[in-house]
Every structure is written in C-alpha cells, then in structure tokens.
Structure 1
C-alpha cells in the first residue's frame, strides 16, 4: 500500500489530462447529479459522491456505436470494421461498479469473444475509490459489493490529507510511478481497513437474507404470477432500469443505409428486456408480450439466470434502478425481500 498526498494526486491527474495520447475520465457534479465524463481539470473530480446516473460500463460498451461500414459500386463491394480505440483512464469507480465490470468481462469473453468490448476494456486503466457517501437506495453491503479486493488497477481510500493507494495490476503499478508516493505505515494500513468496515455500516437498505438464496428463491417463485402482476401493475415499460444498470448488456443491431444503398453502417445500441418490442421476432410474434412476464424476467435474470451460467448474482446493489424508476417499482431489495417474506 502506498500513500500520496491530495496535492500531489491533483497534480498527477492534471498531468494525465495534459497527455494527448489518452483520455481521462472522472466523476463530476452536473446539475445536482454525478456523472462519469471527460475531465478538463483535476479540481472537477468528485471522489466523495454517492452514485452516478450511468455506470462506467458506457466506456467499454457505448450506448451507441458503429461497428462496421460498407461501400458498394457496380464493380466492387467493401466492408470495413470500425475498431478505433483510444487509451482511457477512468478515475473514481466504486467497488460495486468494479465488480459489475468483472461480470461484463466474463460475459463478453464467453463463447463468442466481443472484440469491440474487449479491446476497449484492455485499453482502460480503472482507478477505484472506496465510498465516502452512500446512496439512500443502495444495498451494496448486503450484496457483498461495498468493498472489493479485485477488479481495479489502483484503488484509492480517503485518509484526510492523503489517499492510500492499493495496487491491483501491473498497469496500475506503472501508472503510479508518475506520482510521488511513500510506503504506508502500519497505522495507515489499519486506518484503511477501518474505513472499509465503516462503509458497510452506512447502508440503511438491505437484503434481509443471504444473496446465495436468490437463485432458489426465484426458481420457486417463477410461476407466482399473482406476485409479478401485482408488482408490475404500474410499470411504464420504459426500460430505464435496464439502461442505468451496470450489469445489463443487451443490445440491438441496426443497418443504417443510405437511400441509394451504396453506403451504410451497422450500428449497435443498448437495448432492454423491459421494452415492449425487446422480444419481438419475425412475423410479429412477441414471446414476452405481457408486462408482468417482462418484469419477472428482469428479476430472474439478475438473481437466477446469470448465476446459473456464470456463478454471479447480477445485481450489485447500486440502487440506480430504484432511484431512476418513476413509479418506484424497480427496487430489487424490496422485491426480493417480499418474495422471501411470502
């Protein structure tokens, strides 16, 4: 563990911003909310935030991206993949988002490797930060995601005038050479552990049972349509809960052609299982047309389907879905606790 003064860290971030060959992203305050965005200066960086609107996955899996383009003539047809990826440093990622990124890494490396996601991921340096403030809708402590020992290149912990820095990779170690540090004292190491322990005591919301019970609980309640219909009654099918989730990865592909059909692009954009047309297939068949079925699918996907395939509970307890849901029916902790109660 290393120690860097906050003054030196600010200088370090400004130096990174002034390097033209990589983009520096950090958490910033905008219109009373927190967002990940490109940093123009270090003083804009907010590391004491509670939660951002969107997770940092948007830098590995953009909301919308062109993945190839084509050009056609009478004599020729060319198809060109679009894979321009620039190095990027992301500063200020909370542990639950780091754990979500690790889940995404598994998914996009499985069976068919997604070179677009993986190339961006390889060129990212992830600098995490242990939480100082907690969102009132978050229950990360119950999900075991309030702290993490993996998934970061560097991890910061606030210690008044300094940051304690834990190194998680060779990329992080190389980057740390660009700033003045010293070794942490035994007392500072102990203080970091106290900070991590105190974080878990800041959460008001909780899952009232072990997350390990979720797959079985959901399997037993798959056919409990009365429960799913009752809780989905006010759902707008807007898909916001999908779009703000750090572990949702579904996307749609569209070919955007010029009217002459001589040129065009294939575009990938985020999609969500709560949208009415998500499960619409050929001939107009929709195999998840009912709102309650879509609602059930979302919770099954978080607590059962991904677990069955990868061994991960795909809800990290960040609370974004609950915060952004207009009718306030998306809170996983409430739904899972009610199911357990029944």
Structure 2
C-alpha cells in the first residue's frame, strides 16, 4: 500500500489543476442534501458528507442513452454510439465503490456491454472515506467500510491534511502531475486506521441481527411469508428504491423511428422491478402483476439471485432506498430482521 499526504492548504490547488485539465464530476451540496454534479471550482467540491441522494452509477449507466443510430436502407446501416470521454469522479465513498465493482462484474460477464465498460475505463475514480454516517446507512455491516480495489486514489481526512492511498498507476500519475505531496509516515498510517475504525463503529450501530451471509438461505425459506403481502400493501410502486440504489441496473430498450421513417435510434433507459409494467410482455400478460410479487422479487434479487453470481449480496448498505421510501418499507435491515424473527 502506497500512501502520500496532501496538506489541506494545498488541496484546492490540486482540485483546480484537475479542473484545468479534465472534466471533473464530484459531490456538491444542494438544498440541504448532496448530489453528484459537474465541478467548476474547488469550493464547489464537498468531501464532508454522509450520503448522496443518487449513486454515481449514472456516470456509467446513464438514466437515458442512445446506443446506436440506424438507417432503414437495403443495407441496414447501423452506427454504434459509445461515449468514452475521460473524466474524473471525485468523492466516491467506499460502499459506492463496492457497488461499482459489482456492476463491473455484471456488465463484463456473458456478452460484455461496451457502453458501460468504455465509460468505466474512461473514468478516474477518486474515493474518500466517510466523515459522517447517514441515519439509515448500514455499510459497515455489509463489509463496505473500506475497499481494496476499484479506485485510482482514496482520500482520508486527517484533520490538517489528507492521506491519499494510491490504487493504480493512473492515480499515481495524477498525483505526481497535479498535487503537492509529502510522504506519509507509519504514524500517519496508524492514525488512518483509527479514523476509519471510529466511523465504522458509528455505522455498526445499525445492521442485521444475524450474519448477512445467512440471508440467501433465509430467503429460500421465506417465499410464502406473510410479510410480502403486509409490507407491499403500503407500496406506491414508484420505483424510488430502484432509482437510488447503486446496484440496480435493470433497463428497457426502445427503438425510436424518425418522422421520415428512414432513420432512428435505439434508446436505453433505466427500468425498475417495482414498477407496475416492469414484467409486462407484448401479449398483455404481466408476470408480476401484484405489488407483493414485485416487492418480493426486489429482495430476492438483492439477497439471493445475484448472490449466486457475485458470491455477495447486491446491497452495500448505503441506506438510500430506506431514506427515499415514503411508506418506509424498502429498508433491507428492517425487512430481513423481520423475516428472521419469523
């Protein structure tokens, strides 16, 4: 592990140098919350936040994107549209990096998705350790307090300075070209461990009442549990939990033909398993017509189906679903603990 120091007084210069040379996207405050957006000045960037409203997955899987253009000619001309402009994503918490790592595996398996993968390759990810814990977060219980991969640089706020872990050669080059650095000492490394442990301990006050690896087996025996109907009776089928989740990646694909009937484009947009027509097909059938079936599917997907692919739960404990759900039924901690109680 390679660690360097950046004094707080030199941090703005580092950020300004990045802005001068790259497209920089990062965390910024908005109306009492935090969002990801374009950073045009160092003072816009916020590294002292609990959780953003929306995860950074939008940079790799946009809410709406054109996949290709086509011409309805005898030769059926098709032009792929792939965005791969380089950019820096600054301020990603470890739990969101864990989610990105899971998404990387999902979009690389089977038939690799070039749209996602080229965006991912174009991104320089600068992570930052949390300094605060959102009320509904439980990332410590999900093993997402820290990550060992998926970032180019990882910042930890040490008070008077940042300690920076170098994750890749691209990250090292970025630091050497644009930052004023000092070597980190053994004492600095030990203090970093203490700071990380302290914030993780705060987050551990919320979590599951049993080992999380028991969740797939718990779900296997809970298909007919009354809780699905009971909780889903309050569901608004709004899809908020899908939208804010960093590991939800379902999408719909539509072909839009121009008015000249000679050209068009293929569009991909986010979809969500809680939406009423998510499982509807052309014959008029809907394989998950009831709210209970859709509600159950979401938790089975997070806790069972994707576990078979990832060997891990498709939940990183960010708590966004719980925070965004108006009837308060999307919280994995509450739901799984209730299932365990029987």
Check whether TM > 0.5.
yes
1:180 aligns with 2:180: yes
1:106-163 deviation per Cα after TM superposition (whole angstroms, max 9, x unaligned): 0000001000000000011111001001100101111111222222111000011100
1:199 aligns with 2:199: yes
Partner of 2:65: 65
1:234 aligns with 2:234: yes
Q: Pairwise mapping of residues 127-138 of structure 1 onto structure 2 (< 5 A)?
A: 127-138=126-137
1:219 aligns with 2:220: yes
Partner of 1:168: 167
| Aligned-pair CA distance for 1:78 | 2.0
**Aligned-partner SS, 2:141:** helix
TM-score by length of 2: 0.96
**C-alpha separation in 2, matches of 1:35 and 1:67:** 26
**C-alpha separation in 2, matches of 1:183 and 1:128:** 19
**C-alpha separation in 1, matches of 2:338 and 2:294:** 18
Partner of 1:5: 7
1:50-109 deviation per Cα after TM superposition (whole angstroms, max 9, x unaligned): 100111111011010001012345x66421111132101001000100000000000000
**C-alpha separation in 1, matches of 2:324 and 2:66:** 28
Unmatched runs of 5 consecutive residues or more in structure 2:
none
| Aligned-pair CA distance for 1:260 | 2.6
| Aligned-pair CA distance for 1:169 | 1.1
1:151-207 deviation per Cα after TM superposition (whole angstroms, max 9, x unaligned): 211100001110000011111111111212121111111110001100111124211
**Aligned-partner SS, 1:166:** strand
**C-alpha separation in 1, matches of 2:264 and 2:245:** 31
Q: Pairwise mapping of residues 126-165 of structure 1 onto structure 2 (< 5 A)?
A: 126-165=125-164
Unmatched runs of 5 consecutive residues or more in structure 1:
none
Decide whether the 8 Å contact of 2:154 with 2:164 is kept in 1. Answer: yes
**C-alpha separation in 2, matches of 1:172 and 1:294:** 42
Decide whether the 8 Å contact of 1:128 with 1:156 is kept in 2. Answer: yes
**Aligned-partner SS, 1:339:** helix
**C-alpha separation in 1, matches of 2:173 and 2:211:** 39
**C-alpha separation in 2, matches of 1:6 and 1:56:** 25
Decide whether the 8 Å contact of 1:141 with 1:200 is kept in 2. Answer: yes
**Aligned-partner SS, 2:306:** helix
Decide whether the 8 Å contact of 1:154 with 1:169 is kept in 2. Answer: yes
Decide whether the 8 Å contact of 1:143 with 1:207 is kept in 2. Answer: no
**C-alpha separation in 1, matches of 2:206 and 2:184:** 34
Partner of 1:278: 278
Decide whether the 8 Å contact of 1:27 with 1:47 is kept in 2. Answer: yes
Decide whether the 8 Å contact of 1:103 with 1:312 is kept in 2. Answer: no
**C-alpha separation in 1, matches of 2:275 and 2:290:** 11
**C-alpha separation in 1, matches of 2:84 and 2:149:** 24
**C-alpha separation in 1, matches of 2:312 and 2:57:** 17
Deviates further, 238-247 or 81-90: 81-90
**C-alpha separation in 1, matches of 2:65 and 2:135:** 33
Partner of 2:252: 252
Decide whether the 8 Å contact of 2:83 with 2:119 is kept in 1. Answer: no
**C-alpha separation in 2, matches of 1:325 and 1:9:** 37
**C-alpha separation in 2, matches of 1:205 and 1:194:** 20
TM-score by length of 1: 0.96
Decide whether the 8 Å contact of 2:279 with 2:287 is kept in 1. Answer: yes
**C-alpha separation in 2, matches of 1:155 and 1:326:** 34
- Runs of at least 4 residues off by over 6 Å: none
1:229-287 deviation per Cα after TM superposition (whole angstroms, max 9, x unaligned): 01111101111100100000100001111123111110000001000111011211111
Give RMSD over aligned pairs: 1.1
